[in-house]
A and B are shown apart, each in its own frame.
Chain A
Amino acid sequence: GNSVTQMEGPVTLSEEAFLTINCTYTATGYPSLFWYVQYPGEGLQLLLKATKADDKGSNKGFEATYRKETTSFHLEKGSVQVSDSAVYFCALRSSGTSYGKLTFGQGTILTVHP
């Protein structure tokens, strides 16, 4: 079956530091890949997505590239802000059956200090 593995957290950074959150996946076919962000007590919001190999998703300074050869979709940001503190989830949506349901990683808690 499909699975998503994220780097262990929590991650604590100082403001303006570089961020990387690793994400690797296992899936059949050609899945679409997503990063979602969750702020305390809220639902998930889509941060960025990529639907085919070598696509780069980007939004609000965050980027991730769909690497089929390494089955990875690592999230990066060059300079984090305090307001980026949240939980980040990597997810995939299969291209086959099972209603295209999303499979999530376990989430990575990011805390940014001033």
Chain B
Amino acid sequence: DGGITQSPKYLFRKEGQNVTLSCEQNLNHDAMYWYRQDPGQGLRLIYYSQIVNDFQKGDIAEGYSVSREKKESFPLTVTSAQKNPTAFYLCASSSIAGGTEAFFGQGTRLTVV
């Protein structure tokens, strides 16, 4: 079955560490996105990518980095520069055709300990 897979589901990070969240899709979608979700604030866009080796900052990119070396993969690194990283992170993918929806993974809950 086609879909989008995020791993791990739960992740714990110590202060000062970098961590990488995985996102893989087999939907043959060109566009991929990372969102952060905090209680009561909806979803905020971190980074997005339309093609391999190209990506753009979203609304809250500071303290995060991404890569897009393969069409199906779009990992997100939460760096030690991110001051408040505890959140629920959602990856999504979509066709770039107009009117099409985005498909979401199950999310990764990151907690700083």
| Chain A residues within CB distance 8 Å of chain B | 32, 34, 36, 41-46, 49, 51, 89, 93, 95, 98-102, 104-107
A107 in contact with B42 (CB, 8 Å):
yes
What string of 1s and 0s marks CB contacts (under 8 Å) between B2-22 and chain A? Answer: 000010000000000000000
Task: Name A1's closest neighbour in chain B (CB-CB).
Answer: B59
Selected A-B contacts with CB under 8 Å, 24 pairs: A34-B101, A36-B104, A41-B107, A41-B109, A42-B107, A43-B6, A43-B107, A44-B43, A45-B104, A46-B103, A51-B99, A93-B98, A93-B101, A99-B48, A99-B50, A100-B94, A101-B45, A102-B33, A102-B45, A104-B42, A106-B40, A106-B41, A106-B42, A107-B40
| Chain B residues within CB distance 8 Å of chain A | 6, 31, 33, 35, 40-43, 45, 48-50, 56, 58, 90, 92, 94, 96, 98-107, 109
Task: Name B30's closest neighbour in chain A (CB-CB).
Answer: A99
Q: Contacting B102 at CB < 8 Å: which of A41, A51, A95, A102?
A: A102
Task: Name B54's closest neighbour in chain A (CB-CB).
Answer: A99
A43–B94 Cα distance when bound, in Å, is 15
Task: Name B40's closest neighbour in chain A (CB-CB).
Answer: A106
